[in-house]
């Protein structure tokens, strides 16, 4: 009998490992700008959001615990117009390990300035793919699917399509039923949730999604083994993004790419051969002039 119980427990453990949740998300709520005496409210907010992101199965993919996508939500509360209503700007970041190294590459980085939501300590965060529940749960679900989609795109060509379809569905529900909360519609701004998912699903941006795959699977994942080959691949990636940027200047997803990758690109090319460094600098300074001060390191011998 004991042997049967042990076998059952082992099988349960294996099944649980194969069905682990997709995300390992660190959540930080910064409430320093909000004057409110009950500070426990903000601890409750942080805990509920963390549970929502980490304890939910977002897809039918099988993840082992060590395969969960590492990500962060840095929620900076800026205003409480009335008790229980909050405005915030939020930095969403996800990282991906580079094969054969201890290095984690920033895959997705985006600052969303359009968070407005309600929260109280008694509130449970509910979510259904087919029904609108609250603006907070919709925003969290949207970024959960964005993070998973970007991660899947980095491992397989266009592998993130199912998750991006889910993110689009979240957006459509929130835009139609969300009582006019900002960030869900095209006219709310030129760098918001609408434009992020619109870029990723626009056929004209397929070269961008293919570039994400090439940069990670053919670039960073072979960097330890063959740095010269990796850099050549990444130069091709930068050329693709440069061509796309010329067609779609100020596209939200391209700006997000350089938010995530500018420091990494400098580190990748600063030890390259002079010709490669010059080529990388030429592309980067033209395509991402905002970060030109970082790229000037590549001009040094």
Tell me the three state secondary structure of residue 139: helix
Q: Is the pLDDT of residue 86 over 90?
A: yes
Does 24 reside within a domain?
no
Does 126 reside within a domain?
no
Question: In which element (H, E) is residue 279 found?
Answer: helix 274-287
Residue 230: give the domain boundaries.
209-301
pLDDT at site 192: 96
Does 7 reside within a domain?
no
Give me the phi and psi of 122, to 5 degrees please. -85, -5
pLDDT at site 19: 56
Does 93 reside within a domain?
no
| Alpha carbons 35 and 13: distance in angstroms, whole number | 46
| Alpha carbons 136 and 144: distance in angstroms, whole number | 12
Mean pLDDT of 59-77: 95
Binned at pLDDT 50, 70 and 90, residue 15 comes out as very low
DSSP state of 113: E
Does 246 reside within a domain?
yes
- Copy the structure tokens of residue 220: 């960073």
pLDDT, tens digit, for every residue of 253-300? 999 999 999 999 999 999 999 999 999 999 999 999 999 999 999 998
With CA atoms as reference, report the closest residue to 257 among 244, 267, 274. 244
Question: In this structure, are residues 96 and 151 in contact, taking their beta carbons and an 8 Å threshold?
Answer: yes
| Alpha carbons 297 and 301: distance in angstroms, whole number | 9
Total residue length of the chain: 301
pLDDT, tens digit, for every residue of 197-248? 999 999 999 999 999 999 999 999 999 999 999 999 999 999 999 999 999 9
Does 107 reside within a domain?
no
Q: Would you say the pTM of this structure is higher than 0.85?
A: yes
Q: Is the pLDDT of residue 3 over 50?
A: no
Task: Count how many domains the chain has.
Answer: 1
pLDDT at site 29: 98
Question: In this structure, are residues 146 and 165 in contact, taking their beta carbons and an 8 Å threshold?
Answer: no
Does 10 reside within a domain?
no
Does 144 reside within a domain?
no
pLDDT, tens digit, for every residue of 96-137? 999 989 999 999 999 999 999 999 998 889 999 999 999 999
Question: In this structure, are residues 88 and 34 in contact, taking their beta carbons and an 8 Å threshold?
Answer: no
pLDDT at site 64: 92
| Alpha carbons 233 and 210: distance in angstroms, whole number | 12
pLDDT, tens digit, for every residue of 154-198? 999 999 999 999 999 999 999 999 888 999 999 999 999 999 999
């Amino acid at each position: 009998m004991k042997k049967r119980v042990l076998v059952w427990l082992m099988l349960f453990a294996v099944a649980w490992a194969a069905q682990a949740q997709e995300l390992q998300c660190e959540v930080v709520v910064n409430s320093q700008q909000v004057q409110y005496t009950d500070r426990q409210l903000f601890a409750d907010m942080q805990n509920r959001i963390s549970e929502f992101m980490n304890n939910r199965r977002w897809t039918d993919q099988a993840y082992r615990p060590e395969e969960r996508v590492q990500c962060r939500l840095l929620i900076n509360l800026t205003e409480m117009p009335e008790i229980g209503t909050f405005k915030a700007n939020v930095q969403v970041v996800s990282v991906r390990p580079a094969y054969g190294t201890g290095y984690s590459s920033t895959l997705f980085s985006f600052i969303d300035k359009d968070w407005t939501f309600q929260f109280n300590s008694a509130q449970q965060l509910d979510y259904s793919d087919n029904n609108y529940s609250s603006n907070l749960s919709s925003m969290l679900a949207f970024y959960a699917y964005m993070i998973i989609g970007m991660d899947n795109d980095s491992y397989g060509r266009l592998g993130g399509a199912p998750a991006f379809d889910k993110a689009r569905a979240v957006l459509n529900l929130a835009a139609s039923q969300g009582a006019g909360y900002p960030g869900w519609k095209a006219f709310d701004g030129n760098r918001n949730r609408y434009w992020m998912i619109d870029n990723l699903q626009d056929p004209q941006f397929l070269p961008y999604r293919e570039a994400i795959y090439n940069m990670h699977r053919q670039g960073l994942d072979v960097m330890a083994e063959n740095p010269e080959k990796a850099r050549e691949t990444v130069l091709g990636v930068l050329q693709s993004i440069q061509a796309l940027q010329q067609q779609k200047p100020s596209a939200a997803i391209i700006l997000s790419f350089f938010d995530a990758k500018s420091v990494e690109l400098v580190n990748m090319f600063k030890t390259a051969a002079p010709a490669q460094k010059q080529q990388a600098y030429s592309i980067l300074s033209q395509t991402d002039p905002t970060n030109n001060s970082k790229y000037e390191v590549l001009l040094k011998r």
